[in-house]
Amino acid sequence: MTKFHALLFRFLPNGSHYSFFERATSELAKAGDDVKDAVEPLDTELNKWFALETANMAWYRKSALTAAIADADHRLDNALVGLLAQVNAARHNVQTDIAAAAERLYIMLQSYGRVAAKPYLEELGDVKAILAHLNGDRATDVQTAGIAGWVPEITAARTEFADLMKEREAESLEKPKSGFPETRRGIENVWHQIVNKVNAGVEFDFSPDFERFINTLNPEIDYLNNEYHRVKIDIATAEPASIKAQPYTGRACTPVPDVLLVTPKGTVRLELGKDFNLTYKNNVEVGNAECTIHGKGAYRGHKTVTFIIARGV
């Protein structure tokens, strides 16, 4: 046995996973008696957590809606993939009007990122917004690009999916109370006691395996701390480049502004679809139009810029 002074032991942030605590408990149980005494209450709390997870998973497995929701989501995903594939193919059409319409549709669809990979409720919200474009400011492009057949299919798939999610929400009222927040607090309280004990300046007889565990554990904890304590930046602090006057065409104008953010490391150009999405208002007729930049990913909030639509530009 080697002497190891665990001064590098870290506190964990909120949101760490059950599996992490389970692995840490197993390794801590190999340490000296003083630490083992503190591990027993942690093991007790983890058993409570596991029991809650087991009960909740059993409830979801019994629900007939679980499989139905997964199937509806799959149908909606397939419809979105089909739409994007046809739009992408139309971008290479030899007829310039078809290619141009498809390009505008492609840019709009790409601005929402990988919709099918998003959580259910976020996916439903994005598809609703996409349908609003397809039936509204992009309706002419839909007809020109020859993709009108996808609109009712996506609408029907989204309606089915949304209705099932509403049923799940009503059904969830009958689900047993989770108890997760209370159990989570119990786990964290015990974990903090262990960290304080290990870092109290006492030398424990830790094995080389345990020392290696600590040395791999700390970078993982640092990563979790960085992830869970990362503060989103308000998109309102960004500086969008002014949008030049747009020519009146009778169709919606959807210019994409350069969005720049000044940071201590220099100026960063934000990416459409990754860092922000765009919505427009009053962007068809001659006059003042609005483009609103909505933060996404590491950015939050929104910022609106105006531009002019004019004849003869």
Asked whether residue 129 falls in the same domain as residue 205, the answer is no
Asked whether residue 149 falls in the same domain as residue 119, the answer is yes
Asked whether residue 290 falls in the same domain as residue 216, the answer is no
Asked whether residue 139 falls in the same domain as residue 118, the answer is yes
Asked whether residue 77 falls in the same domain as residue 162, the answer is yes
What are the residues whose beta carbons fall under 8 Å from the beta carbon of 76, sequence distance 6 or more?
A: 116, 123, 127, 154, 157, 158, 160, 161
User: What CA–CA distance (Å, rounded) separates 189 from 166?
Assistant: 37
- 47 pLDDT above the threshold of 80: no
Asked if 291 and 225 count as a contact pair (C-beta separation under 8 A), the reply is: no
Q: Which domain holds residue 17?
A: 2-61+176-228
Among 151, 172, 193, the domain boundary falls at 172
Among 204, 228, 252, the domain boundary falls at 228
What are the residues whose beta carbons fall under 8 Å from the beta carbon of 74, sequence distance 6 or more?
A: none
Say what the pTM is: 0.43
What are the start-end ranges of the H helices in 113-254? 120-135, 139-145, 150-172, 180-198, 208-228
pLDDT tens for 107-148 read 999 888 888 777 788 888 889 999 999 999 999 999 999 999
Asked whether residue 69 falls in the same domain as residue 165, the answer is yes
Asked whether residue 145 falls in the same domain as residue 269, the answer is no
**How many CA atoms does the CB half-sphere of 213 hold within 13 Å?**
16
Return the residue matching tokens 């007829």: 95
Q: What is the pLDDT of residue 142?
A: 95
Provide the number of structural domains found in the chain: 3
pLDDT tens for 74-115 read 899 899 989 999 999 999 999 999 999 999 999 999 888 888
Asked whether residue 8 falls in the same domain as residue 148, the answer is no
E-only strand ranges, the chain:
2-4, 204-206, 233-234, 239-240, 246-247, 259-263, 266-269, 276-281, 287-295, 299-300, 302-310
Asked whether residue 119 falls in the same domain as residue 259, the answer is no
Asked whether residue 96 falls in the same domain as residue 162, the answer is yes
Structure tokens at 161: 């999916």
Asked whether residue 73 falls in the same domain as residue 168, the answer is yes
Asked whether residue 73 falls in the same domain as residue 147, the answer is yes
